[in-house]
Amino acid sequence: MERLGLGWETLRESNPRLVYGTVRGFGDPRSGASPYADWPAYDVVAQAMGGMMGITGPDRQTPMKIGPGVGDTIPALMLCIGILSAVHRVRETGKGQFVDVAMTDAVLAMCERIVYQTSYTGVVPGPEGNRHPLLCPFGLFRARDGYVSIAVANDPLWEKLAAAIGRPELGSDPAFATNAARVANTQQVIELLEGFTSVRTKDEIARVLGGKVPFGPVCTAAEIFADPHYAVREMLVDVDQPGSAQRVKIAGVPIKLSDTPGAVRCRAPMLGEHTDEILLANGYSRADIDRLRAAGAVR
């Protein structure tokens, strides 16, 4: 943008209310000149250098990327928060500002636990598999037809879980009654729980644990498509696909606003599909649009 003469310092001269946002792999030098400022970056680079891969994987020797492109999407969400905050301030003060997000910084912020763990204990966290280093049971457990997630973050929840699986005595057993004891006996806890879960299907486990403790099956895309939750929440939206008579599904809007609800109302446009409509709405004449198109300025 600087090369095109459209940098922050240039544009704010003509509009002091301007909010100007950037996302870069290692941030903008205006906010802190990273030694990696000129390195290109993608999702996997941000995941790797932001600490996420370092705590993900089946064992300490095998770091692993997260499936979705969180190194891209998390920085975008954080930029959105920053822009909205800056716009709110503009309305109060009339003064815009520069909003800067580094992809690596955003990922590190999501992995914040590794910072205080290392600082407080001096122990560098490694890949955790499907467990949690500080809570137990808190992770994935084998079912007969896949895996389920069970998250017991406190001792009362452990008592409820023990009762639900038909082992109420475990709730008061000194070897398991406190989180500290369960963490110390993690493997025993896993074996006890998987003795229950591994011989039952995800649906069977859901009928026992659903609504009692934090629980959820590990869902495939096909199971998500069949789940009534996503239908009633309008998270699977049918849109037209150009060149095909069959409609396709895309993800809906997860933020639900009561007065100004967002929604997916149409598919993404083809290149140039709405050029005339948008320019006419902004005061351009047909002759203006024809000239712009002939010059190659628009499609």
pLDDT grade for 204, boundaries at 50, 70 and 90: very high
Whether 213 contacts 157, CB under 8 Å: yes
pLDDT of residue 231: 96
- For the stretch 58-72, pLDDT in tens is 998 999 999 999 999
Pairing state of beta strands 146-151 and 138-143? antiparallel
Q: What angle do CA 161, 164, 166 make, to 5 degrees?
A: 110
Q: Averaged over 103-117, what is the pLDDT?
A: 96
* Gyration radius from the chain CA atoms: 26
pLDDT of residue 297: 94
For the annotated catalytic residues, the residue numbers are: 72
pLDDT grade for 140, boundaries at 50, 70 and 90: very high
pLDDT of residue 213: 97
- pTM value is 0.86
Could you give the domains of the chain?
A: 8-121 (3.40.50.10540), 138-218 (3.30.1540.10), 219-261 (no CATH), 269-299 (no CATH)
Which residues, in sequence order, are bridge partners of residue 257?
A: none
CB under 8 Å, gap of 24 or more: what pairs does 5-8 form?
Answer: 8/98
pLDDT of residue 289: 97
Residues near 213 by Cβ (< 8 Å), separated by ≥ 6? 150, 151, 152, 157, 160, 161, 164
pLDDT of residue 183: 97
Q: Averaged over 101-117, what is the pLDDT?
A: 96
Residues near 211 by Cβ (< 8 Å), separated by ≥ 6? none
- For the stretch 4-58, pLDDT in tens is 999 999 999 999 999 999 999 999 999 999 999 999 999 999 999 999 999 999 9
pLDDT of residue 124: 94
- For the stretch 206-249, pLDDT in tens is 999 999 999 999 999 999 999 999 999 999 999 999 989 999 99
Pairing state of beta strands 20-24 and 98-102? parallel
Give the DSSP per-residue string, 143-193.
ETTEEEEEE--SHHHHHHHHHHTT-GGGGT-TTTSSHHHHHHTHHHHHHHH
Return mean pLDDT, the chain. Answer: 96
